[in-house]
Amino acid sequence: MLDQTDIHPLFAGAPDTVEFKKLRKRLVRDTREAIDRYGMIEPGARWLVCLSGGKDSYTLLAILHELKWRGLLPVDLLACNLDQGQPGFPATVLPEFLERMGVPHRIEYRDTYSIVMDKTPKGRTMCTMCSRLRRANLYRVAREEGCSAIVLGHHRDDILETFFMNLFHGGKLATMPPKLLNDEGDLLLYRPLAHVAEADCDAFARAMDYPIIPCDLCGSQDGLQRQQVKRLLDDWESRTPGRRGKMFSALMNARPSHLLDPALFDFAGLTRDHDGAEFP
């Protein structure tokens, strides 16, 4: 399956090392596992693959095209970059890259940057408004292009960070789901890298020498809750290697009867039988 002699152009020039081959195989395996586990494949569907120019979105694009190249992903893929009008954004990098790789794509320009800067109170983070405007435009593009799903490059670490942000700051047990239906009910949102570690995305994109575009808008802000959570998880991982994997496994192994939400488990209806055994 991963024979270097027959590859998609996105893998051209891949390092011919044992380490990289293992990384590539792991990325393909983890992505296929998430796609299968969460039922993402709808034959004949068209996916809008969101490409920011960061390491995660490049990894997403490459692995999805690898799976399609191998006949393992029977959907059409359309890469999309939303140019949000941020000053200094290198607008030619992604179009030139996608043309060179032979990847079908659409570049959409919408100056959401000015709106975010105008509407965000001084001292507040820009993430929420930026994300909301970006999502609205991606939904619009997906509908215009006849896509049934929007595909994002969030990975395992993003999902864990969001879980702890909701736990610490939102007072709820929730995170980014790998599969979500939008409020209107006409578009699905997929995260095929849900099982992929951020470190693997970083190693892959760097090894492939993809033209990484940093996010200098939200990423340049200090004191973000996500940054604080990320440092916490990094510290835990350094003290106990493998802890991220254990915590992620816990998100796939929820036991409603051992939590406290009566909407998920009928505690009131939990009674004993005549032998003293408990049953709902």
List pLDDT tens digits, range 87-129. 888 889 999 999 999 999 999 998 877 887 777 777 666 677 7
Determine, yes or no, domain membership for 2: no
Q: How far apart are CA 203 and CA 59, in angstroms?
A: 10
Q: Nearest CA to 64 among 103, 109, 6?
A: 103
- At 15, list the tokens: 């390092």
DSSP tag of 275? T
Q: How far apart are CA 185 and CA 51, in angstroms?
A: 23
Determine, yes or no, domain membership for 62: yes
105: enclosing H helix or E strand: strand 105-109
109 phi and psi angles, rounded to 5 deg: -105, 125
**Residue 277's pLDDT band (cuts 50, 70, 90):** low
Determine, yes or no, domain membership for 18: yes
Determine, yes or no, domain membership for 3: no
* DSSP state letters, 214-269: ---SGGG-SS-HHHHHHHHHHHHHHHSTTHHHHHHHHHTS--GGGSS-TTTS-STT
Q: How far apart are CA 237 and CA 245, in angstroms?
A: 9
Q: What is the pTM of this model?
A: 0.89
What's the pLDDT tens digit per position in 150-192?
999 999 999 999 999 999 999 999 999 999 999 999 999 999 9
Q: How far apart are CA 111 and CA 238, in angstroms?
A: 40
Q: How far apart are CA 161 and CA 226, in angstroms?
A: 7
pLDDT beyond 60 at 65? yes
Tell me how far the alpha carbon of residue 67 is from its chain's centroid: 17
Determine, yes or no, domain membership for 220: yes
Q: Please give the residue range of the domain that contains residue 221.
A: 9-279
CA distances from 246 to 85, 202, 238 (A): 40, 21, 14
Query: What is the CATH classification number for the domain harbouring 32?
Result: 3.40.50.620
Q: Do the Cβ atoms of 59 and 65 come closer than 8 Å?
A: no
Q: Structural domain tally of the chain?
A: 1
**Residue 273's pLDDT band (cuts 50, 70, 90):** confident
**Residue 146's pLDDT band (cuts 50, 70, 90):** very high
**Residue 274's pLDDT band (cuts 50, 70, 90):** low
Determine, yes or no, domain membership for 146: yes
Determine, yes or no, domain membership for 4: no
Q: Do the Cβ atoms of 190 and 152 come closer than 8 Å?
A: yes
